[in-house]
Structure 1
Amino acid sequence: MSLTTLTLGADGRVRHRVPPDRLSNDLAGWIARDLVAPGLLRPNAFEQAFVSVVLSTAWRPVVAWESFYRNTLTALAAGGDPGGTNAGMAPVQQRATELAVGPDVVELGCCFGFLALQLAAAGHRVTAVDIAPGTVRLLAAMAPLLGLPVHAVAGDATAAPLADRCADTVLAVHLLEHLPAGVDVLVLAEMLRLARRRVVVAVPYEDVPDVAWGHVRTFDAAALHRLGASTGHRYRVADHHGGWLVIDR
């Protein structure tokens, strides 16, 4: 078994040889490739397998997670290893950072918060929102260790616990593909409620939803144009490692 090969034991536990210095968000791609795609692991068990591998790399959870975060941020800054998850994320997050305007930024559906941390490193005051309380607690614990201030908040992207017009830019990067059809309109309305200046949406372009990543629907440029036009605001759609919808107020 190579360092980046994962197997599932007879006891249902993931077997790996991932050393702490290789631990990063590339792990997500390895699990999808080695366990979910061949049918060895159900997509709904993805998160549990992911966490179990991370925690197995160090004697204390905080040490394991800090290595995971630091290695991922370093890999994203360098562009990631070819074909890896970080390599796929890097240009998307770089573009999102370039599109953020103003000092105050909100990210909806932040997951681990790598984009939020990059935005903080770029000098923005960042509030990161995710529906999973555990993920929010993890980000809140890691951000101070990394020296990157991020305000992490648990909340639904359709009803964030934040004030009207609280941010210059509001982002939802690779969130909408995880939500059922029709919810995208609700999320966009919430983003417009929160944004003073700009809304940024990014989605992957797929022929079919990638269930290994929890995707439930697909988007194309036409769908983004319909979404933008429904708001009545000035908008533009662009392609860059997927599709982008940018709305300026």
Structure 2
Amino acid sequence: MTTAALPRQFTTETVSDGLLVPILSAMVTAGELDGRAGFEDAMVRAIEGCADEPADGWHAFYVNSLAELDSGVAPFTPIHRRALSLLRGHRVLEVGSCFGLFALHCARTGLDVHACDVCPGAVERLDEAARRLTLPVSSRVADACALPYPDGSMDTVTLIHLLEHLEPAAAATAVDEAVRVAARRVVIAVPFEEAPSEHFGHVQALTEDDLIGWALPWIRRGVRASVFVDHGGWLVLDRVGG
């Protein structure tokens, strides 16, 4: 694991996802950080080192990152806004929630929000963030390929920048699981890359053909599908009558 020096000192006023990710990505490109392990280590050190207590650093990270999304300056803002506009119903599940910024964003709109991620540490951080921000998010550790939720138990299930982290067979299984759990709609977003960004943990570069490939088995079963491009690719699957 790398101990490369960060290019600047972050504070509780400046630490955020929108600021950290471009800086650390540039360091990976320059060879100053060693791939995914170096990227993740540097990000944690920046967040936890900006305050006297690591927990306060994480709280500042969440507060600032959500503020960036609200103001529109965060690189991920267009994706969050598009995803929010596509939600249907009241009960939402975010699969592969990572830091949980989208889940927290949804909770602030009054939705009944559930989130899951395969990483226990990410779920713990989301739980703590939701507690300190007094936002109701129900989160748990879970594999996208075997979701521990009953059939049709959520109105909308989202997979936002998740499937590029999975091998092709696992990605297809994750889509199937999302459709099983969703009573009304599945919303999928993926980045379009020439090559997978290893420091983000991406294992495949996806195209519109992949989105269509995930949709076809469900179209044959009567599910409506829409594929479009907006800051990457999107696939929306709707149950008839949902």
Q: State TM-score, norm by structure 1.
A: 0.90
Which consecutive unaligned segments of at least 5 residues does structure 1 have?
A: 1-10, 81-85
Q: For residue 20 of structure 1, what is the aligned residue in structure 2?
A: 12
After TM superposition, list the pairs within 5 Å mapping 1:63-212 onto structure 2. Answer: 63-80=56-73, 86-87=74-75, 89-212=76-199
Q: What amino acid is aligned across from residue 51 of structure 1 in structure 2?
A: V
Q: 2:33 aligns to what?
A: 41
Cα deviation for residue 227 of structure 1 reads 1.2
In the TM superposition, residue 187 of structure 1 has moved relative to its aligned partner by 0.2
Shift of 1:162: 1.7
Q: Give, in whole Å, the separation in 2 of the partners of 1:17 and 1:50.
A: 12
- Say which SS state the counterpart of residue 21 (structure 1) adopts: coil
Hey, what's the Cα distance between the residues in 1 that align with 2:96 and 2:71? 24
- Letter aligned with residue 59 of structure 1: D
Which residue identity lines up with residue 237 of structure 2 in the other structure? I
Q: Does residue 53 of structure 1 match 2:46?
A: yes
CA distance in 2, matches of 1:241, 1:100: 18
The separation in 1 between residues aligned to 2:115 and 2:3, in whole angstroms, is 34
CA distances 1:142-167 after superposition (whole Å, capped 9, x unpaired)? 10211211011101111122222110
Shift of 1:122: 1.5
Aligned equivalents of 1:248, 1:235: Cα separation in 2: 6
SS of the aligned residue for 2:33 comes to coil
Amino acid at match of 1:66: H
> 2:69, 2:36 → 1: CA distance?
26
Q: How far apart, in 2, do the equivalents of 1:14 and 1:50 lie?
A: 11
Q: 2:230 aligns with which of 211, 215, 240?
A: 240
Question: Any conservation in 2 of the 1:37–1:212 contact (CA below 8 Å)?
Answer: no
Which stretches of structure 1, 4 residues or longer, exceed 4 Å deviation after superposition? Answer: none
Compute the displacement of 1:121 (Å). 1.1
| Deviates further, 226-235 or 124-133 | 226-235
> What is the CA-CA distance between 1:186 and the residue it aligns to?
0.2
Letter in 2 for 1:238: F
1:102-149: per-residue Cα shift (whole Å, max 9, x none)? 110001000000000111111210111000001101100110211211
1:13 deviates by: 4.4
> Aligned AA for 1:37?
T
Alpha carbons 2:99, 2:126 under 8 Å: kept: yes
Equivalent position amino acid for 1:23 in 2: V
TM-score by length of 2: 0.92
8 Å contact 1:106–1:126 — kept in the other structure? yes
Aligned residues: 232
Residues 14 and 53, structure 1, Cα contact 8 Å, conserved in 2: no
Secondary structure of the residue aligned to 1:136 is helix
